[in-house]
């Protein structure tokens, strides 16, 4: 670890400690969760303790009618899967363990996080209808420099990134004209690229849960484009210094 700054060294030591401890728990729904880094502890607390995304899940449940097929959900920026596991936990708690789970299409740019996500899905002990795709989301083609760190919840497109990662065309990896019941977008500053590149996909999306990063993209333009696509005014679920978590719904 020679040449590392003190803060970077401490970060690596904390990360090693989390990986050694690997605390985990099986929830009442049967969903298993584990925590392997400081960043994961933060996201776990946001989603499972504070229930940050729960209003989006409540809106999804409220739109469901008896006899409906399982909803289709997109998870853009899936990381290690806490969004998926929270959704499935609440779904099983509400509808029972024998109910058909939502169909999830999960996109993640980091190779290592894709491997970890797939491992955590397979560890559940029952089939999970999650299709995992490895690649960047934002533009529809090309490559970009991708910056990864041990604090992986902040991985993002950045000129300082050490490797080039190809973009995936999200629509090419979905059934044609498939309605999207809930789309979650957490792609660390690439929101404008995604919103401007996928008008047709947004037109068939009912609920959009998105992190908007004021310091990394043009948030007013993002909101204007979403209004053009027919979404109503956002419900702000949480506001931070330089980004917000917002829920947009189609009337």
Q: How many CA atoms lie within 13 A of 66 on its CB side?
A: 0
User: pTM for the full model?
Assistant: 0.91
* pLDDT tens-place string over residues 159-191: 787 789 999 999 999 988 889 999 999 998 899
User: What 3-state class would DSSP assign to 199?
Assistant: helix
Q: Where are the domains of the chain?
A: 52-249
User: What is the Cα–Cα distance from 191 to 69, expressed in whole angstroms?
Assistant: 29
**Vertex 32 angle, CA 28 and 37, to 5°:** 130
Helix-, strand-, coil-residue percentages of the chain, each rounded to 5: 35, 25, 40
Sheet order of strands, 156-157 included: 156-157, 143-147, 163-166
Question: 52-249 belongs to which CATH class?
Answer: alpha beta
Residue 38's pLDDT is 85
- Residue 33, both tokens: 């969760």
* pLDDT tens-place string over residues 13-59: 666 776 666 778 999 999 999 998 888 999 999 999 999 999 999 99
């Amino acid at each position: 670890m020679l040449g590392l700054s003190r803060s970077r060294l401490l970060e690596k030591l904390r990360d090693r400690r989390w990986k050694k401890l690997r605390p985990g728990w099986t929830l009442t729904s049967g969903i298993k969760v584990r925590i392997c880094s400081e960043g994961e502890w933060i996201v776990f607390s946001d989603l499972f303790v504070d229930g940050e995304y729960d209003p989006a899940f409540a809106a999804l449940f409220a739109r469901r009618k008896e006899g409906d097929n399982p909803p289709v959900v997109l998870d853009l920026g899936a990381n290690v899967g806490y969004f998926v596991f929270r959704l499935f936990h609440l779904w099983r708690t509400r509808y029972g363990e024998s109910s058909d789970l939502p169909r999830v299409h999960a996109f993640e740019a980091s190779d290592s996080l894709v491997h970890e996500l797939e491992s955590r899905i397979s560890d559940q002990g029952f089939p999970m209808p999650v299709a995992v795709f490895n690649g960047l989301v934002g533009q529809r083609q090309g490559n970009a420099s991708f910056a990864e760190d041990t604090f992986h919840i902040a991985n993002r497109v950045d000129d300082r990134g050490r490797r080039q990662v190809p973009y995936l065309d999200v629509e090419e990896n979905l059934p044609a004209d498939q309605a999207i019941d809930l789309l979650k977008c957490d792609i660390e500053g690439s929101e404008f690229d995604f919103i401007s590149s996928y008008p047709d996909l947004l037109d068939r999306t009912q609920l959009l849960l998105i992190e908007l990063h004021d310091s990394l993209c043009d948030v007013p333009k993002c909101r204007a484009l979403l209004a053009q696509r027919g979404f109503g005014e956002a419900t702000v679920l949480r506001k931070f210094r330089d980004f917000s978590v917002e829920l947009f719904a189609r009337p």
